[in-house]
Each structure stands twice: as structure tokens, then as C-alpha cells.
Structure 1
């Protein structure tokens, strides 16, 4: 889960609080809290409290995390190339449209449980 959180923070820099990670990734508070503590102990992240709002604690990726994140990004890009290999532009457009519809349906369904 620690790796997933690092990649999430890198790919979604505007969602940089524990609460946002829980909400968007549909994770439990305890798992996110434990993972963040482990990442902090390893020197991969830092928690910074806002001067304006003491309740707002941003999670910042540190330089030490960049190697892991860069390798992860390369793996993600290669995976995308591998699974889309041989598809025409038209097929890729259709695939994208189908996945967008699936995503919209999943979001609607998840909102029903909130």
C-alpha cells in the first residue's frame, strides 16, 4: 500500500491529505494512516501543517521518493504501451470511450453508498 500511496501522491498532487487519499482511493483510514507513518519513517514523505488552517496537513513527497516514483512511472507507461500494442487509433478511441463510461457508472454506483 505504501507504493500505491507514493504513486497516488505523484500522479495526483492536488489530493495531498490523508483524508483525500482515503476518499479517492476508497481505502480505510487505518491503512492509510499506517502506510503514511511507515513512509514518513523511511524518509519518503513529510507532513506539513498549514499555517492558515492547523487542521490541514499536506503530505509532501521528499527527494528520496523520486527514484521510486520515477521507476513506477516508467513501469506504468510501459504497461500502457504493452496492453495497447497493435490497436489502431480508432480502436484506442473506442476503448477510451468504453472505459470512460465504465468509470462514470462506477462513480454513480459508489455515490449511492455514501
Structure 2
């Protein structure tokens, strides 16, 4: 079996193209938009270090853009209730319309990615991705 290593890169590039107009309209750099969307879509994750780890964005970029988002009123920082060394990030009311529009953009993007595929194919793909993730988890856990 052969895997096309270009697909993840093309998805990332195409997503950036899809976000370009909205980011320009909102006067937000792509990285700042990505941070808001990550926090809005993944409420279990609240720290800059989690964004660095899961989104593979350099720590200095996260730091700069989080500071900007705090200054512009999109995010607030709070000390972690479980670890005083950590600071948690939370989206403000101001961020909610951005996240709503971003979610619509993401839904539209997925529709374009899956254009000309029926629901059965989409379900099969989702099931395959879940299976692959489980298999990867097993590899990472040494099973």
C-alpha cells in the first residue's frame, strides 16, 4: 500500500487559502485565528503549551499571538486551579462571533474537501480514520 505524503500538506495549504478572506476581514493573522478556533473547538485544552504540542505551532508564535488576543479582548488568562505554574486561556464574549464564523468556514471547507462523495463513503472514511487513530494509539502505547 502506498500513502501520498502530500495530502496533509495540501490540506493545510488549502485550509489557509480558505481562511484568508475571513482573517483579513477580522484583521486577525492566521495563527491568531487558529488559536481562537483551537480553544473554541477543544474546550478540554486550555494552555499555550497544549496548543504548541497539538497544533505544532512554535511556542514563540503562540506567545506573541496569545498576547495580542488578550490585548484585543478575545482571550483572558487565569491561573490553573490544579497547577499554580500554569496559566489557562479562555475565549471571551468578543471571541464567540469569530468562532461561530470560523466553524461555518470549517464546515464549508469540509464540504469542499468531500465534494462528490456520498454519505456512505464519508461514514466509511470517518470509521477508517477512527480505526487508524486507535491503531496509532496502540503503537504509541507499545501494544
* CA deviations over 1:72-106 (Å, ceiling 9, x no partner): 01111122223323322332233334545666788
**CA, structure 1 residues 92+51, in 2 after alignment: closer, same or farther (shift >3 Å)?**
closer
Task: For 1:23-102, list aligned pairs within 5 A.
Answer: 23-100=53-130
Q: Flag as ranges the 4+ runs of structure 1 deviating above 3 A.
A: 97-108
Q: Whole-Å Cα distance in 1 between the matches of residues 137 and 58 of structure 2?
A: 18
Q: Which blocks of at least 5 consecutive residues in structure 2 are unaligned?
A: 1-30
Query: Structure 2 length as normaliser, TM-score?
Result: 0.65
Give RMSD over aligned pairs. 2.4
Q: 1:6 aligns with which of 28, 36, 41?
A: 36
Count residues in correspondence.
110
- The two structures have a TM-score, normalised by structure 1, of 0.79
Evaluate the alpha carbon distance shift between residue 50 and residue 90 of structure 1 in structure 2; reply closer, same or farther with a 3 A threshold: closer
| Separation of aligned partners in 2, 1:44 and 1:82 | 29
